[in-house]
């Protein structure tokens, strides 16, 4: 068995030892548009790509820099090559964090976020966590994850959307931010 995965665009990539030239936005957008949030335990299909679009829109509404907006659209891009693991399990798999971090940083750098700062990463995380809070309420009917509701600047679309529409919107936003 080989040490690579085959991608949507027919590339071969070893997610544990990736090469920058193997990573393409079309693979990321397609994969994330078909990958569900919360391991599929939602009221309806809601993709990682749709989550990333919502994070981007919130970052933009907050007036964050285009670098942070790009970071938001790409913050889960590594999952397109290594999938995601639920937080309780991921905490037990220390090496997963190493692989995920290396791959995610390579993706950031590949698409223009060289030398992403800790401050930028923190803003991305704040938006991501705020979105998670509202996703759990809207898509799972679960009571809030925190005592205080995080501020949201705009209302977000948690509706059931066609994956092709989401994939195209993801690519459009990415292209606007990297033109």
Q: Name the nearest CA neighbour of 47 among 154, 158, 177.
A: 158
- Cβ–Cβ contacts within 10 Å for residue 47, how many? 20
* pLDDT given for residue 30 in this prediction: 98
Angle in degrees, CA 106, 9, 111, rounded to 5: 25
Mean pLDDT of the chain: 94
Per-residue model confidence (pLDDT) at position 144? 67
E-state strands within the chain: 5-6, 12-13
User: What average pLDDT does this structure show over 90-97?
Assistant: 90
Q: What is the DSSP letter of 2?
A: -
135-165, pLDDT tens digit by residue? 999 999 887 667 788 999 999 999 999 999 9
Architecture of domain 5-178: Orthogonal Bundle (1.10)
Asked if residue 32 lies in contact with residue 48, where contact means CB atoms within 8 angstroms, the answer is yes
Residue boundaries of the structural domains of the chain: 5-178
The pLDDT of residue 71 is above 60: yes
């Amino acid at each position: 068995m080989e040490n690579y995965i085959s991608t949507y665009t027919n590339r071969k990539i070893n997610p544990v030892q990736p090469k920058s030239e193997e990573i393409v936005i079309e693979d990321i957008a397609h994969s994330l548009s078909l990958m569900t949030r919360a391991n599929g335990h939602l009221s309806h299909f809601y993709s990682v790509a749709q989550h990333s679009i919502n994070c981007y829109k919130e970052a933009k509404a907050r007036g964050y820099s285009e670098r942070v907006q790009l970071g938001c659209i790409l913050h889960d891009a590594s999952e397109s090559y290594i999938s995601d693991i639920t937080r309780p399990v991921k905490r037990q798999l220390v090496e997963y964090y190493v692989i995920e971090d290396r791959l995610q940083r390579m993706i950031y750098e590949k698409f223009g976020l060289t030398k992403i700062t800790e401050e930028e990463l923190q803003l991305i995380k704040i938006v991501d966590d705020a979105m998670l809070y509202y996703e759990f309420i809207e898509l799972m009917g679960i009571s809030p994850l925190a005592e205080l509701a995080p501020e949201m600047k705009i209302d977000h679309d948690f509706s059931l959307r066609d994956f092709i529409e989401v994939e195209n919107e993801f690519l459009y936003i990415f292209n606007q931010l990297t033109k």
